[in-house]
Structure 1
Amino acid sequence: MHILLTRPKDDIPALKNKLIEQGFTVSACPMLDINILPVEEVDSQTSQILDAAQAYLFTSANGVRAASHHGLTQNSERPVFAVGPATADACKAAGFQTVSEAGGDVRSLVEMIKGTNTPHISGALVHISGRDQTGNLVEQLCDAGYDAASVVLYRADTIPAFPDNIATQLISGEIDAVMFYSSRTAKHFVALTTLAGIKLSMTAYCLSEAVAKILRQAGVANIKVAATTTEESMLALLA
């Protein structure tokens, strides 16, 4: 089976190696180009919010990389809350010492935070995020009485078109399956195939039902959805 990966560039190598070890042929086409905000562009207000944080919240490994770039790992003893296993692993690799891991989505992250004594600790919960956010993490936490804020430290820009080699592989039917980890990636993939006149004849492996819904509406016939929003569940679909 020839699988196409659509994750951001820095998330691809480890996943690609796992798939190759299992005997799959793998191509990569990141749908999003991750650009971390330069340190010198962080204003004083943002710096104050980061300095006042009691804990950091991460909903992707991209946020962890941005935090590392901006030196937030200097406060490695500060607790962090990660949306799922992959993000938690990124937090630990970055040097954070106290990492709490949710079940893979914003809902489980909010419930996990509610289950701690975080409201009784002075200081804000700061979500390190991208410019284009999905979900309403901070809004939910504020509604629950938390002091929560979001700080944008990177942006994820969509690619303008498929590279020529990927377009050729898709048109020829050489690619059997595509793995989708986010709704935004799925939407942009559909938009690019429409732009290029490419038929959606591959199998779509989706991290969640929300991702699958987008591809189903676009006319993809063969869709498989992970049992849980984790990479392990995605890989289990291929077993």
Structure 2
Amino acid sequence: MLRVLVTRPEPGASRTARQLQDTGFQPILLPLTETAALPVDAGLLPGDAVAVAVTSANAVRHASKELIAALAALPCDAVGTRTAEAARKAGFLSVSEGPGNAEALADSLAGYLWGKTIVYLCGRVRFPVFEQRLKAAGVQVHAVETYDTLTVGYSDEAILERLSGQSADAVLLYSAKAAAAVQVLTRRPALQGLFESTRFFALSARIAAALDDTTDERIRIAAQPDEDTLLGLLRARL
């Protein structure tokens, strides 16, 4: 049975593990990042906002009840299915499911929000392209950072124990921060042998770029930045 290292934080890690087990893989959970809520003053929201945009389910999960209550009546544009589900669960009354990636969502919003203001629920660590595209199109983006992403540290002994001293056949990478953390692990003398033949499956090219000294032959990138596509790529390659 092929061993797959899952590096994403909970609650997504356990959900991914179940999917891997159902398709014949042996998942090994090693979250390399964790998310933590940030304090937000709901009273500082712009009064002229006409919509809410969300490109990460964590941005909704970590938002306070007060913040959600202040925004719930506005239409919420979510990047994809899981983010839309999280927004509805949090209490947004009208949620639209987007095309699956931040760039395409920005392009679709830019078409009808010129000159208007939106609230963007997001993490402190994020790619700037969503905001850049909207601002370039004349949309005023008020970013509200509801959570931070922190790197989780492990000792060599903890990694060896988690992997039972055996190499991983594949590593799933969902963020650039996790990919950078994996890069550090593969350079540790005590751990190098565990990753000599490992293949890395990244959700996007930006994430894969963090593996800067790994040969291209060992890296695979999902055609679309969603988990179903990533796991389909894993099954096809392994």
Partner Cα distance (1:196, 1:54) in 2? 53
Please say which of residues 129-138 and 55-64 is displaced more in the overlay: 129-138
Q: What's the CA shift for 1:51?
A: 5.7
Q: Identity of counterpart residues, as a percentage?
A: 29
Match of 2:99 among 81, 98, 103: 103
Partner Cα distance (2:90, 2:157) in 1? 35
2:18 aligned with 1:23 = no
Partner Cα distance (2:167, 2:108) in 1? 43
Q: Does structure 1 retain, via aligned residues, the 8 Å contact 2:156–2:190?
A: no
Partner Cα distance (2:154, 2:169) in 1? 20
2:8 aligned with 1:7 = yes
DSSP-derived class of the 1:133 partner:
coil
Which residue does the alignment assign to 1:191? 184
What's the TM-score, normalizing by structure 1?
0.83
| Structure 1 counterpart of 2:131, one-letter code | V
Deviations 1:164-184 (A, max 9, x none): 443345583342111011222
Change (3 A) 1:164 1:103: farther
2:143 aligned with 1:113 = no
| Structure 2 counterpart of 1:9, one-letter code | E
Q: Does structure 2 retain, via aligned residues, the 8 Å contact 1:170–1:198?
A: no
Partner Cα distance (2:178, 2:54) in 1? 19
Q: What's the CA shift for 1:36?
A: 0.3
Which residue does the alignment assign to 1:151? 144
Q: What's the CA shift for 1:155?
A: 0.9
Change (3 A) 1:235 1:138: same
Which residue does the alignment assign to 2:231? 235
Q: Does structure 2 retain, via aligned residues, the 8 Å contact 1:104–1:229?
A: yes
| Structure 1 counterpart of 2:37, one-letter code | I
Match of 1:137 among 130, 139, 143: 130
Which residue does the alignment assign to 2:207? 211
Partner Cα distance (1:100, 1:134) in 2? 22
Structure 2 spans left out of the alignment, 5+ residues? none
Q: What's the CA shift for 1:93?
A: 3.0
2:178 aligned with 1:178 = no
Partner Cα distance (1:52, 1:163) in 2? 52
Which residue does the alignment assign to 1:36? 37
- CA RMSD in angstroms comes to 2.6
Partner Cα distance (1:174, 1:153) in 2? 37
Q: Does structure 2 retain, via aligned residues, the 8 Å contact 1:63–1:154?
A: yes
Partner Cα distance (2:150, 2:34) in 1? 5
**Structure with the bigger percentage of helix:** 1
Partner Cα distance (2:91, 2:65) in 1? 12
DSSP-derived class of the 1:103 partner:
coil
Q: What's the CA shift for 1:109?
A: 1.6
DSSP-derived class of the 1:214 partner:
coil
Which residue does the alignment assign to 1:81? 77
